């Protein structure tokens, strides 16, 4: 059933995205999980299908003037397929707004065609070993020297870290200026002193490359400064609400799919002479999940509408992110329990969803940080 926030054009796009995932992602998923990496062929296929840079001007190879709801649809379909390996969401929803808002005309000519075609995979490097949600604790430095910045530092938990050709690095260009001394620099594959560490061994999300990155006296040309020097922290604060609502959108779609699969399992699985869904406890658990998902869906679709209209506040985006990621964790956990022993087997989608979803309440700002932001909005 079509949701009210979508038009027929959006739903036609959903059909295309679903077909793309079925053809280009699902058949290769098992191999990618073993490789701990998604093939670059998948990125190029996504570019050919018009699924990267959906809103970018057509002259750069993008989809033209398409709104955020097209990204919502693609992310929902990826989540429903359990396809969290391809870092398309990072590339599209987290990097795209920075390039869109901050790139100079020359930078757009250099980077956007490859960004849209899938030839240039993008990442953003914020987190450090000693600075996660606290972006003001960033220690990486970029010192201006002639026509370049000399970049030094270490980043960790970087999605797309192994595959990335463009990395937006958060660094201090003026250590004495506090948050006003933070800038964004675009580091490109092949720059001397830019090294990738290990592909991190995570509990879930095995097909997504997540890496440590090292910058040792990297000479970053001044023309790779993204936005104004010292404007990095403001840019981060402007773009984080988009990142957070996107994480919430993805979490809710994943939770809905896990519930659908579990409901069907409970109708089919027999115990003591009847489907396990007939037992009062199972029935009540499923009723609770269905209700929680319905409430979250209403709130999330309203937030999507507000974001498209440019009215979604930072605290509302934080609410979506907090509520939906924690809900997804609860739903996945209860659905594993309803599956019994089979729920702990990775051949069952519920087990993979349980392991893969856990990180959502941590990355993009932890649940605790979301509550802090919401609390401050209340004047506390």
59 contacts: CB under 8 Å, gap ≥ 6: none
Closest CA to 84 of 258, 271, 287, 231: 258
C-alpha distances (whole Å) from 122 to each of 91, 117, 166 are 5, 12, 5
Q: Determine the Cα–Cα distance for residues 233 and 101; give it in Å rounded to an integer.
A: 14
Question: Cβ atoms within 10 A of the Cβ of 264, count?
Answer: 11
Q: Determine the Cα–Cα distance for residues 106 and 109; give it in Å rounded to an integer.
A: 5
Q: What is the DSSP letter of 128?
A: B
Q: Determine the Cα–Cα distance for residues 311 and 305; give it in Å rounded to an integer.
A: 9
Rg (CA), the chain: 21
Q: Determine the Cα–Cα distance for residues 15 and 132; give it in Å rounded to an integer.
A: 37
Characterise 340 by phi-psi region: left (phi > 0), alpha (psi -120 to 50), beta (else).
left
End-to-end CA distance of the chain: 41
Q: Determine the Cα–Cα distance for residues 137 and 133; give it in Å rounded to an integer.
A: 9
Q: Is 261 helix (H, G, I), strand (E, B) or coil?
A: helix
Q: Determine the Cα–Cα distance for residues 196 and 151; give it in Å rounded to an integer.
A: 15
Closest CA to 301 of 37, 72, 45, 20: 72
Characterise 168 by phi-psi region: left (phi > 0), alpha (psi -120 to 50), beta (else).
beta
Residue entry with tokens 């609502």: 245
243 is known as an active-site residue: yes
Please identify which of the residues 24, 77, 243, 316 carries the catalytic annotation.
243
Query: Torsion over CA of 108, 197, 352 and 344, rounded to 10 degrees?
Result: -170
What angle in degrees, to the nearest 10, is found between the helix axes of 8-24 and 68-80?
40
Q: Which residues are catalytic?
A: 243
């Amino acid at each position: 059933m079509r949701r009210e926030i979508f038009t027929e054009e959006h739903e036609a796009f959903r059909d295309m995205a679903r077909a793309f995932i079925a053809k280009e992602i699902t058949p290769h998923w098992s191999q990618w999980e073993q490789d701990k990496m998604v093939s670059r062929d998948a990125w190029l296929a996504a570019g050919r299908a018009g699924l990267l840079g959906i809103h970018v001007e057509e002259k750069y190879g993008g989809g033209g003037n398409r709104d955020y709801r097209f990204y919502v649809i693609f992310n929902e379909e990826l989540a429903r397929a359990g396809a969290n390996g391809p870092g398309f969401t990072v590339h599209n929803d987290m990097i795209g707004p920075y390039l869109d808002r901050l790139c100079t005309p020359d930078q757009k000519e250099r980077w956007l065609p490859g960004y849209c075609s899938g030839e240039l995979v993008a990442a953003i490097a914020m987190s450090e070993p000693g600075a996660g949600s606290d972006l003001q604790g960033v220690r990486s430095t970029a010192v201006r020297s002639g026509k370049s910045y000399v970049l030094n530092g270490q980043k960790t938990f970087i999605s797309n870290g192994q595959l990335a050709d463009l990395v937006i690095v958060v660094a201090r260009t003026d250590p004495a200026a506090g948050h006003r001394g933070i800038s964004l620099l675009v580091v490109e594959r092949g720059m001397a002193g830019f090294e990738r560490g290990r592909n991190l061994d995570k509990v879930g999300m095995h097909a997504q490359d997540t890496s440590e990155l090292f910058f040792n006296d990297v000479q970053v040309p001044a023309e790779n400064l993204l936005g104004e020097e010292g404007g990095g922290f403001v840019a981060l604060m402007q773009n984080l609400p988009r990142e957070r609502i996107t994480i919430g959108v993805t979490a809710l779609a994943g939770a809905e799919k896990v519930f659908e699969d579990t409901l069907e399992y409970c109708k089919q699985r027999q115990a003591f002479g009847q489907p396990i869904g007939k037992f009062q406890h199972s029935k009540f658990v499923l009723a609770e999940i269905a209700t929680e998902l319905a409430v979250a869906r209403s709130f999330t679709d309203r937030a999507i509408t507000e974001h498209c209209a440019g009215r979604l506040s930072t605290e509302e985006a934080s609410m979506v992110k907090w509520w939906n990621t924690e809900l997804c964790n609860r739903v996945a956990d209860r659905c594993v329990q309803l599956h019994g022993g089979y729920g702990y087997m990775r051949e069952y989608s519920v087990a993979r969803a349980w392991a893969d979803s856990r990180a959502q309440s941590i990355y993009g700002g932890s649940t605790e940080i979301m509550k802090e932001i919401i609390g401050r909005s209340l004047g506390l």
